[in-house]
Structure 1
């Protein structure tokens, strides 16, 4: 789960982040609380339809694409310290180095992250969170959950979300000497981030909602995308061939077919 955005946006972010990530393992997850989850899914869809989507449409109307792109780059840069911490905790020094360099370049040359200069220098962006870190450490995901406002998650990812918030410097840094002002700034960042995310992900959300069974589609997308994120694009050799047929059975079939074709055949002349 991605911190820094308030609830309704988390649903949009979860949907689209998953939809844009290739599957890298089993495409489904245990769902023992499906009845509850479906109710929460319907609630979140209603919240998106009647609150977040209209607000995002208004935001898109008054905000040019160039400005929205700068908001996207700025908010992504703010996650740099959290991504770096999780890179280190996962024992990924190369990725940690890339994250550190990206944050330094984008914060300086990129004008506080308003421009993703690091990508233009060949330092590609990636995401990490503590839910992924727990998975790398061998913690099981637990059952699939859909929470009101927060959207799809698991106990492991929900724990990771809380830890990410705790280690995020933005949670603790004093932006102003007045607590009310700090709260207003953080809330403003959250609202703008939510609207910006909803605009960026509009096509993917519409595609999901057009599925015959959006609930099941989202569950599979969430599960497979999280697996892909945990593996950082690497293939899991234990599950990579789970969906392939049993080729030994085909060999047995070929042997039987060959024997049948040769029954009664005249012996070859020597």
Structure 2
């Protein structure tokens, strides 16, 4: 099956990516966090996203969690994770990582058939590991630096590199091949609700904790991305390595 990879990007998308890069380049100052030089903008966008979340996403996700049996929610999560495995296969292949690419391929093949289109995670029961990858990590594999932390409208935490890679990730999503459009949009909506429902517990912990939610979310996001990049002490100004951890201790 032909994978929808590297479709032509629209002019508005390229302009948005360029504007993001220009914003990162213009940010400066002696007290600027090197990972977050756009902090004033990012905090404002975070407040907007929180307002949208409190008004729409969180109530819908809470209702979904309360009304939908756990077995069904697990199947929904497995279905979308299986779609992600197909894109992970592409990116692991682009990164020339043989074992992860083979694992991603067999996970998708097994779960798509024996797992009823991915609703059942048969591959995990067989001991086949998941190696989740995206195009942002592929860019990092070949030396593209992460760039500053960048909060996207509605989508939330990102970096300049991951924002530029986002249109490619969206093009590589198998959901883009679903017809009719109404069914495709319904799947997008279900994926968003499922993803938000999976974060409800983490959100309640943040709400109850006496800390700066913005700084905590930023630091956790960047740390997770750095671990996925295969580095222990990365910098926003340096590219990722080949995925192997350095020998020095933490």
Instruction: Give the TM-score, by structure 1 length.
Output: 0.72
Larger Rg: 1
User: In the alignment, is the contact (CA less than 8 A) between 2:62 and 2:200 conserved in 1?
Assistant: no
Matches within 5 A, 1:93-104: 93-104=98-109
SS at match of 1:79: helix
SS at match of 1:149: coil
* Number of positions where the alignment pairs a residue of Structure 1 with one of Structure 2: 206
Residues 1:235 and 2:227 are matched in the alignment: no
**Higher RCO (CA-CA < 8 Å; seq separation 6+):** 1
Residues 1:58 and 2:60 are matched in the alignment: no
Provide the residue aligned with 1:218 in structure 2. 217
Unpaired segments ≥5 residues, structure 2 = 1-32, 232-242
In structure 2, how many angstroms separate the alpha carbons of the residues matched to 1:169 and 1:56?
A: 23
Structure 1 pair 193–167 and aligned structure 2 pair: CA distance change class (3 A):
closer
Instruction: Quote the offset at 1:235 in angstroms.
Output: 2.4
1:78-133 residue CA offsets vs partner (Å, 9 max, x unmatched):
12221101001111110000001111110111011110000000002231000011
Q: 1:39 aligns with which of 30, 40, 44?
A: 44
Provide the residue aligned with 2:116 in structure 1. 111
In structure 2, how many angstroms separate the alpha carbons of the residues matched to 1:29 and 1:85?
A: 32
Instruction: Give the TM-score, by structure 2 length.
Output: 0.77
Q: 1:145 aligns with which of 131, 150, 172?
A: 150
CA RMSD of aligned residues (A): 1.8
Provide the residue aligned with 2:184 in structure 1. 186
Unpaired segments ≥5 residues, structure 1 = 1-27, 177-181, 242-270
